[in-house]
Each structure stands twice: as C-alpha cells, then as structure tokens.
Amino acid sequence: MSTTFGILNKGLDITKIIDENGDIYPYIDQSYCFKNVYYRGDNSYWVHGLANFILDEIKVYPLDNSAQGIYTIGDCRKALEEQKINRKL
C-alpha cells in the first residue's frame, strides 16, 4: 500500500486539522496545510528535495492512506535505508 506523507506548514494549529483519532478532517485542504515530503511504496523516495535535511523528530502525517509505522522524518529515513539494504540482497 503506497502512502504520501507531509509535514505541517509553519504557523498552522494541528488541533484544527487532525481529529482525536489522528485522521485529517475531511474538509481540510491538504495542499494548503501540508508540504509533501515522502512517498512510501514499492519504490519509496523523498518527494521534496530538502526533506532529507529535516530533523528526525519532525512529525509526518499520512495524506492518502494509513501511517504504516511512519510517524517522523526519522522513520522515513529508516524505511529508505531498509529499502536500500533489501535491494542489495
């Protein structure tokens, strides 16, 4: 299952965008609220060129599917490293 992940744009209040279950409210304009940074699928990659330079602890939000264990930029990095290792095997 593929998923695009984003980080919250600066200055926005996450409590107005994400409900108590961690889901994005259906009326939210995701392109305004989030900057796409990572795509996870058969061939995962950074969507934004500067995403690899963001601090590991910055939260990411699944924009079109479930989180699948990805909650931070650090989790994205780990998934990319695992992908590299698995392809070398």
Averages of pLDDT over each 10 residues, the chain, 89 residues: 94 94 92 96 93 94 93 97 86
CA distances from 26 to 7, 56, 64 (A): 17, 28, 11
pTM, two decimal places: 0.90
pLDDT of 1 reads: 80
Q: Which residues of 62-83 are buried (b: 16+ CB within 10 A; e: fewer)?
A: bbeeeeeebebbebbbebbeee
Percent of the residues in the chain that have a pLDDT greater than 90, as a whole number: 85
pLDDT at 87: 87
**Residue 74 lies in domain:** 3-88
Nearest 5°: phi and psi at 88? -80, -20
Q: What is the DSSP letter of 89?
A: -
At 59 the pLDDT is: 95
Structurally, how many domains does the chain consist of? 1
Confidence at residue 52, expressed as pLDDT on a 0 to 100 scale: 84
Q: Which residues does 53 contact at the CB level (< 8 Å), separation at least 6?
A: none
